[in-house]
Structures are given as C-alpha cells and as structure tokens.
Amino acid sequence: MRAALLAVTASAVLLAPAPVAAAAAAPTPVAATEAATGAAATGAAAAPRAVRCPRVPAPAMSRPPRPSPPPAVPEARVVGGAGLATSGLVMPIGAGTPPAITATSWLVADLDSGQVLGGCGPHEYGTPASVQKLLLAATMMPRLDPAQTVTVTAADMNIEPGSSAVGLVEGGRYTIETIWLGLLLNSGNEAANALARLGGGSDGAAGGVRAMNEQAHHLGALQTHAVTPSGLDGKGQFTSAYDLALIARACFAQPTFRRYALTQQATIPAQPAQRTKGFQIQNENQLIYRYPGALGGKTGFTDLARHTYVGAAERDGRRLVVTLLGAEPAPMRGWEQGAALLDWGFSLPRDASVGRLVEPGELTATPSAAPSALAAPGPPRPAAASGPAGTGSGWLWSVVALSGAGVLALLGGLLWHRRRRLPGHIDNEPRHP
C-alpha cells in the first residue's frame, strides 16, 4: 500500500504543471471548475464533465472510417495539467465562447510563456497528415547543414502517385535548404523522405523516423508516433493537438525555421544532367498572406486525417500558436479555422491559462528515461549516405517506459529521502489560389 501511494505521488509530481507567475489570479478551466463543483455537491471526487465544443456541421461526403486510436495512457492525458484531460472544451472562466469550427480537436497556446489558453479535446488522438513534417523539422533542422549539396535518390522519390510533391528529380543535386523549402512551402513528400534519410544516420530513412519518435518523447509529446516522415497515413500513426503545440513550439524556437515559414516563394534549380528546368514554388499556407502578424505554420490533408493545420501569429508582442485536427474545408478552410481561433486567443487576457506546454526534456529528465543521443540537438553535420526506408517501432512501450521510468526514479528518490513510447493514403493537399 505504501509503495502504491508513493508511486501515485511520484507520477503526480512528474506530470503536474509547474507554478506560474500570477497563478493565483489566473482563470480556472471550465472543465476543472465543473468537476470541482460536482465533487463539492456530492462530497466525493467527481470526474470532469466534458463541455461540448462549439462546432459547425461538416458537409456530407464519403469519408473512410477513422483509424482506431491506441489504448489511452492516463499519464499522457494529463501532461500539461489535469484540466486538459477532457474530450470536450476547456477554457478560462469568463472567456468568450470560442468560434464554432469543424475540427474535431484543437488547442491555442502562447509560444513564449507556454501557457495553454484553451482547447477542445487537446489530448484526443488524431491523424496528423502533413503537419507531421513539423516533427521532421524539429528533429532534423538542427542537425543538417542547409548549405550542403546532396543528391536525391530513387528511394526518396518513392511516394504515392498523386500525393504532394515539390518536383525534385532522382539524381538531382540540391542544397538542403532548397529541400527544406520544398518541404515547408509545397509539402513535398519526396523532400520529407530525403531529409529523413539524410538525418537518419547509417539506418537512413528508418533511422530518421526513429529519431522523430525519440524527439517527440523528448519534447513531451507522448501521444505522438510517426510511421512516415511525410505524414502520409501509416498504421499506428497518431498525434494530438497538445503534442502538435509542443512540436510547433520547438520549430518556432529555431530562427531558420521561422525564416522558411515566412518565405513566400523559392526557386527549385534546374538539373542539367536530368534535363529539367528550374521553377518557382509558392508557400501554400494562406495565413502568411491574409492574417496580420502571421508567423507561418503548416497545412495537411489525407483521406483519413482530413484537414489538419498548425499556425502562429504575433500581436502586440504576444505570439500564439494554434493546432487543429480532423477539420473539413467548408464552411471554413483549415487555415481560416486556425485564424478564427487565433483571434479568440488574442482576445483573452495575457494571464489566461488552463494548463501549460511542458518544456523539452521535462518528462524525461531522469537518467533511466533519457532519450538516446540521437534525439539531442547538435551542430549541423554532413548528411549521411542513403539507407533503406522503414519505420520506428515500440511506440506504446516507449510511452509506458518513459512514464514508468520517471515514476520509478522519483519513487526511489522518495524512499531514499525517507531512509536517507492503415496502409498509406494519399496526402494530396489542396492547392490554394
């Protein structure tokens, strides 16, 4: 009994939100308040009642069945605060109602303070589509030298016919910066394959996907599991709106990513040996053209995921990020839903909070739970040689191991003190005018 109590205590210490300035004055989450009120009325503990998220009806259309999510891991659902463990709406008391959208889950957070301003099912599993390319960027951008020239291989070009491609050619030689721009502006799936291979070490693309999963765990994104580097659908590939916010925050912390995200157009150079001409590409994220203060982001779409979106903007010195999953393009496109949620977030007081984004490494701070050296950012290095494509593995066990290792380590500390982790569907993102 004593050991069980200590284990629960250790888990709570590991996952509880850290104190923040003005926390006493910060608004209380709606879901948490309703739970507390119910508990007081009954004299017993009560589970939070899910508050229905404002939604507009999605247009009727034929959609494939959504993939079944993995088993819920309770510890992962309370990362960032117990108020976030809801399938419904969580927002500060007194806040205006968020806009009604079609997304099945979403989250708005402050990029700088890490405070979560509100969300709908922030820890509900969803399929990422091309917003998964942000995890690739968070993992590989600090490791690859953007000035290095590399050769695109046949394996890099192995993408589904009709899926998003920037137009690289087998045998073509491009700088890594050009490949990054192809990835982030045009969502090139062949660019994603190349970058995963180049950053994956001796294991090539398989090593790249494995590194993405290790980086996700390092960031605290315990509900994220990558199977493909591009976000093309793969069995067991999931994320959550909360996890995407952690990943986006890591991306926007990098000056190079911020520059790429705001780049409106770039040139893909000619390849004389392959007899291809150069051409220009344009940034497909409409937020950067139509939303004042936009910082950029990423769009996504697959048949299974539907529309997904990550976007960020700055207003009056305040930088917010929005993430959303499972949206439909009518009556508002994904970026427009994101813009509406950003407007709602900017309308809230600066101290508004219903939780927080955990810091990188916070949930894996013990030696036994630390990710491998591959997940730790380092200086740019030469790109690795080509390797076989593949996927990461052992995700659910990794999540359990990370949570369990942290609990065991803290349990040991407490005792010492007493005694002194569907086959691919086309990612064919709509091209906007």
pLDDT tens digits for range 407-418:
444 334 433 343
Q: What's the pTM?
A: 0.78
Q: Does residue 133 have an active-site annotation?
A: yes
Residue 223's closest CA among 359, 400, 52?
400
pLDDT reported for residue 430: 52
For residue 175, pLDDT over 80 is answered with yes
User: Tokens 């999540």 belong to which residue?
Assistant: 399
Cα separation, 354 vs 92, in Å, equals: 6
User: Tokens 């079609």 belong to which residue?
Assistant: 102
Cα separation, 360 vs 363, in Å, equals: 8
Q: How confident is the model at residue 376 (pLDDT cuts 50, 70, 90)?
A: very low
Among 18-32, 54-68, 85-99, top mean pLDDT goes to 85-99
The angle subtended at Cα 219 by Cα 217 and Cα 224, nearest 5°, is 50
**Whether 422 contacts 129, CB under 8 Å:** no
Indicate the pairing of strand 306-315 with strand 294-302.
antiparallel
For residue 88, pLDDT over 70 is answered with yes
**Whether 326 contacts 306, CB under 8 Å:** yes
Catalytic annotation, pick one of 11, 87, 105, 133: 133
Q: What's at 49, amino acid-wise? A: R
CA distances from 283 to 143, 185, 300, 319, 338 (A): 24, 4, 13, 21, 17
Lowest mean pLDDT among 115-119, 308-312, 325-329, 399-403: 399-403
Q: What's at 78, amino acid-wise? A: V
Q: How confident is the model at residue 72 (pLDDT cuts 50, 70, 90)?
A: confident
Q: Which residues of 21-54 are buried (b: 16+ CB within 10 A; e: fewer)?
A: eeeeebbebbbbbbbeeeeeeeeeeeebeebebe
Q: Which two tokens stand for residue 410?
A: 């803290």
Mean pLDDT, all residues of the chain: 81
Cα separation, 47 vs 389, in Å, equals: 44
Q: What are phi and psi of 385, to 5 degrees?
A: -70, 170
Lowest mean pLDDT among 26-35, 78-87, 219-228: 26-35
pLDDT tens digits for range 257-271:
999 999 999 999 999
Q: How confident is the model at residue 7 (pLDDT cuts 50, 70, 90)?
A: very low
Q: 385 versus 346: which is more confidently predicted?
A: 346
Mean pLDDT in residue range 53-72: 82
For residue 378, pLDDT over 90 is answered with no
Q: How confident is the model at residue 59 (pLDDT cuts 50, 70, 90)?
A: confident
Catalytic annotation, pick one of 130, 240, 353, 398: 130
Instruction: Write out the H or E segment, with its range, that includes residue 270.
Output: none
pLDDT reported for residue 52: 92
Contacts of 142 (CB under 8 A, 6+ apart): 254, 377, 378, 379, 380
Mean pLDDT in residue range 60-89: 88
pLDDT reported for residue 402: 42
Catalytic annotation, pick one of 87, 163, 164, 187: 187
pLDDT reported for residue 428: 54
pLDDT reported for residue 67: 77
Half-sphere exposure at residue 423, Cβ-oriented, CA atoms within 13 angstroms: 1
What residues form DSSP beta bridges with 267? Answer: 280
pLDDT reported for residue 126: 96
Q: Does residue 187 have an active-site annotation?
A: yes
Cα separation, 108 vs 167, in Å, equals: 34
Q: How confident is the model at residue 71 (pLDDT cuts 50, 70, 90)?
A: confident
